[in-house]
Amino acid sequence: MMRIAIASGKGGTGKTTVATNLALAAAAKNVPVAYLDCDVEEPNGALFLKPDTERELNVEVSVPAIDLKKCVGCGICGKICQFNAIAALGEKILLFPELCHGCGGCWLACPTYAVTESKRITGKLQIGQNTEGVKFIQGLLNIGEAMSPPVIKAVKRAAPEAELTIIDSPPGTSCPVIESIRDSNYVILVTEPTPFGLNDLKLAVDMVKALVLPFVVVINRADSGDDQTRQFCRDIGAGIIEIPDSRKVAEAYSRGELAFNAVPEFRDVFTGLLDKILATANPVSGQLERSVER
């Protein structure tokens, strides 16, 4: 059982490309594999893996409900809430469920049991499998909802079991990304050799270090841009795997086709990437044997 998360500080560097092609490379080797799309704000994995959805589930979060008959207007609920989701104005209670983090403070603290736990739907899960045998799950945050972490949590909870789990995470370095990658054995940071790519890679490296997770850097479109990103990886002793720039891959991507299937010479690129990662990441301890050779 191994869990590999694909992350990046900067968006559009190729996370989904790496994650979906790795899933396919694993399936081609008969490794039981599950692909989890944790980019629940903008999930794209399904466009490439084309799974059949077998099950659909709602994602519910906890929010307070008020029974005004029991409320004595003590204001404790408003006092305990750190997120301005409940405001007590004397006898009047205002609820802002979209701001609620579901911590339970208000219903635990209410002395008259006027506040109770209720549920609200903020997204959904789609679970299935594709023709190559990749088990698939994606989360979809409802439009207008601010908080993606509960949907990401739900994706991980409902994830199909497999020997290899590939987690496609959202871009950035804040809470949604942390939620996606925190319990993985190994992180692949995808970047591109440009100043923006490098700046955001540095942030992503700080993030995986804060989580004490072993990682490797994939430089996508490696032969475009400059050499600074490579130099940075060498300086910090990070393993580097390069994927060459290819118009064919970009065009296949634009049509929703996987390079693994559509561009023959990239089959080996992703199989090689999978082998390297499986050889480097140790599923038992979650420890990385230092630095991947290029």
250 binds other proteins (CB under 8 A): yes
10 binds other proteins (CB under 8 A): yes
- Residues 31, 80, 158, 262: which binds other proteins (CB under 8 A)? 80
CA–CA gap between residue 76 and residue 67 (Å, rounded): 15
Which residues, 173 to 232, sit near other proteins by CB under 8 A?
A: 173-178, 182, 194-196, 199-200, 203, 206-207, 210-211, 224-226
253 binds other proteins (CB under 8 A): yes
Q: How many CA atoms lie within 13 A of 231 on its CB side?
A: 7
116 binds other proteins (CB under 8 A): no
- Which stretch in 23-31, 165-173, 262-270, 272-280 sits in contact with other proteins by CB under 8 A? 165-173
Q: Cβ of residue 170: shortest distance to other proteins, in angstroms? A: 6
**Beta bridge mates, 186:** 4
Residue ranges in contact with other proteins by CB under 8 A: 9-13, 16, 39, 41-42, 44, 47, 62, 80, 82-83, 101-105, 108-109, 141, 143-148, 170-178, 182, 194-196, 199-200, 203, 206-207, 210-211, 224-226, 250-251, 253-256
